[in-house]
Structure 1
């Protein structure tokens, strides 16, 4: 008699109900957009916790899903480098709370405004901490998307015009997770044999097999791409090619100008119309460019209700943080002069918690059968 399995709030992931990988990227980019709108350390920590909880709840056991820890370490390294720069290169923030005074290196007159060493204040360090934490949060959000979205399925969902560029991006995204998995596997094998896996000697003995494996994967990938006819295109009329180039380039330029207008206070009137026009032109160019692609999709991923909920949660977090920042900028950007402890703004914090929705609506990763389950 089969024992009753543990029930989850969402169904177990399968090929039929797997979440569209684009939904994960929209959700993560929404969290990253929200992080770019604030320097509040508590809100940034809440964004990191939200991304980490969703990754822990919905990450699979695939090799590319193990890269989240590497992105977290990279974010912490960026934060540490930002603090080191603030200590040795100074900070533009004036402060009265002196921490330490370092020996200052004299610089020529043409390097005015730059210093090496000198006074290190608590205000400057806190400002660097806020600034570095924002960049670290952006990296962690990208790492969450990389750990949750299947890069192969994401490539299959791209428009035909972006297939070649998508292959390059997917290969780049999967290189780091596979490299990390190879390093962990080789280090574990050396430890089991009683050999050192740290230091310069361990690095040399681990690095060479890792590079050899990367080269073998590259050769196998090139052979597989050649066997599948990668790079072959269909013939299209010259007028269609020129129209595609004009629409794509013009649309991307409109997107860049519109985004710049939205990010600046002076461009609020023209930013949104240019952004929408640029997106429409770019989508038209991509649609025409897809005529050159000869490939077909086998069992394309469906964009279902759960994908809409996941992507909408990320968009909602970004939109609510943008609206909150326009109404009360001081709540999202706490000052450091005078040096005071920031208080948690409740409405932005509640908006960020909407990003936890994928942990409850996205299909749960398939679990290995337990030893207690028997018939």
Structure 2
């Protein structure tokens, strides 16, 4: 080969990329994980502003579509199904409680009359069995759908946001806590993968993998592998200086603790005020003051961290679009709940069929923006035959 020439690949193949440019920059950088969480939490906030089952079903459909089109092929991304099953379990348990324990909602349309168990005088207000009305079941269903939608939205965030990349974006004051949370979140998928691998190996060897005996013989190797991973992780964290902190004056430490604790209390009080009808006047100011104090405490607490970030994720315009789309859904549904509460909270006494309000439904569809502005998940490259 002559000097100065570059080896060429197959006909039509692109030449090698410029050195020093990360692969994530060449193929389109993945979205900032914080944007996914803000989008999902905003959809969950929108779900708390309505009990209309049609709007709640539309919120679930929007989040499910985004997850189906943008979920990467990774172990931590498979948690969405678990959250959906948890949401279905919430529905079943809530309806079961309404049937067995009754409901405070009065009703006239009796579906079934169960045998009622007599209770002592000190248990007044509680009943077991008795009449089961359509109004009580509708009230329980609407209430459970709201919580189930919130769980599905949180599951969407878990399936879309890479936990290790989210850890890189945390403030320095929350780094150690974030590491513990990420380790806990990634432990379950690895455990499930170990169980599936060992059960498949036992089936190939003709050994039983079900029942108590199979569970014990599979559980011991899984536990051994988990302990080995824990020891290896502890050694790696110790080698990287995990837990080391810089010296700061005592006054700064006390100010940091006061700002963080006071800010978190303010966030809790402000959130409670926003979610209740009586606290609408003070909820937003207290929430904003709590956020400002908490951010100030986190900024001061970050001075104790000695770590640096390698290629930090950038908050680009796509992240603003994704987070803004979720915030728009939450804001518009909150406005609709204030202007037309009857449409977003269908009545159960008397029982009426819920209708789909047009402009709140159109507002929910804004949550589909991430499916069109974010990059598609990359496929795992396959090796070419030599």
Same fold judged by TM-score > 0.5? Answer: yes
Residue equivalent to 1:362: 374
Q: Does 1:233 align with 2:261?
A: no
Partner of 2:165: 153
Distance in 1, matches of 2:209 and 2:351, equals 45
Q: Which of 158, 178, 183 is the matching residue for 2:190?
A: 178
Which 5+ residue runs of structure 1 have no aligned equivalent?
A: 5-12
Cα drift, residue 368 of structure 1? 3.8
How far off is 1:191 after superposition?
Answer: 4.8
Q: Aligned equivalents of 1:360 and 1:164: distance in 2?
A: 35
Alignment counterpart, residue 263 of structure 2, candidates 251, 261, 274: 251
Out of 135, 145, 169, the residue aligned to residue 123 of structure 1 is 135
Worse-matched range after superposition: 58-67 or 118-127: 118-127
Alignment partners' CA distance in 2, 1:99 and 1:206: 47
Deviation at 1:329, TM superposition (A): 1.3
For 2:208 and 2:142, the matched residues in 1 are separated by 39
Ranges in structure 2 where 5+ consecutive residues have no aligned partner: 1-10, 15-21
- Partner-residue secondary structure (3-state), 1:15: helix
- Aligned to 2:33, which of 21, 28, 31? 21
Correspondent of 2:291 among 279, 299, 304: 279
Is 1:133 the counterpart of 2:142? The answer is no
For the structure 1 residues 14 and 359, does the alpha-carbon distance in structure 2 shift closer, same or farther, using more than 3 Å as the test? farther
* Residues 1:72 and 2:91 aligned together: no
Quickly say closer, same or farther: Cα 1:281–1:370, change in 2 above 3 A: same
Q: 1:33 to 1:177 in 2, by over 3 A?
A: farther
Shift, 1:339, TM fit: 2.5
For 1:30, the equivalent position in structure 2 comes to: 42
Of stretches 136-145 and 179-188 in structure 1, the one that deviates more from structure 2 is 179-188
Report the counterpart of residue 112 of structure 2 in structure 1. Answer: 100
Give the superposition deviation at 1:342: 0.9
Sort the Cα spacing of 1:103 and 1:211 in 2 relative to 1 into closer, same or farther, 3 A: farther
C-alpha deviations, 1:251-309, integer Å up to 9, x for none? 11222222222222332232222221111111111111001111111111111011111
TM-score normalised by the chain length of structure 1: 0.90
Quote the Cα distance in structure 2 between the aligned partners of 1:197 and 1:297. Answer: 45
**Alpha-carbon contact 1:146-1:173 (below 8 Å) kept:** no
In 2, the alpha carbon distance for the partners of 1:299 and 1:73 equals: 37
Deviations 1:298-332 (A, max 9, x none): 11111101111111111111111111111111211
The separation in 2 between residues aligned to 1:44 and 1:211, in whole angstroms, is 41
Task: Give the total of aligned pairs.
Answer: 366
Q: Write the mapping of 1:334-373 to structure 2, written as runs, cut at 5 A.
A: 334-368=346-380
Q: Secondary structure at the match of 2:375?
A: coil
Determine the C-alpha separation between the residues in 2 that align with 1:83 and 1:145.
Answer: 27
Structure number with larger C-alpha Rg: 2
Inter-partner Cα distance in structure 2 for 1:250 and 1:119: 48
Which of structures 1 and 2 has the larger relative contact order (alpha carbons within 8 angstroms, sep 6+)?
A: 1
1:180 to partner: Cα distance: 3.4
Shift of 1:14: 5.2
- The yes-or-no answer on 1:301 pairing with 2:313 is yes
| Residue 73 to residue 204, structure 1, CA distance change in 2 (3 Å) | farther
Q: Deviations over 1:95-149 (max 9, x none)?
A: 2222222222222111111111222122222221211121111111111111110
- The equivalent residue for 2:103 is 91
Q: Tell me the TM-score normalised to structure 2 length.
A: 0.88
Measure, in 2, the Cα distance between the counterparts of 1:370 and 1:230. 36
User: In the TM superposition, what is the alpha-carbon distance from 1:213 to its structure 2 partner?
Assistant: 3.2
CA distance in 2, matches of 1:163, 1:30: 24
State which drifts further: 96-105 or 281-290: 96-105
Instruction: For residues 176-224 of structure 1, give each alpha carbon's deviation from its aligned partner in whole angstroms, at most 9, with x where no partner exists.
Output: 3333333444444455555555555554444444433333332222222
Distance 1:101 1:212, change over 3 A: farther
Contact kept? 1:65, 1:177, Cα under 8 Å = no
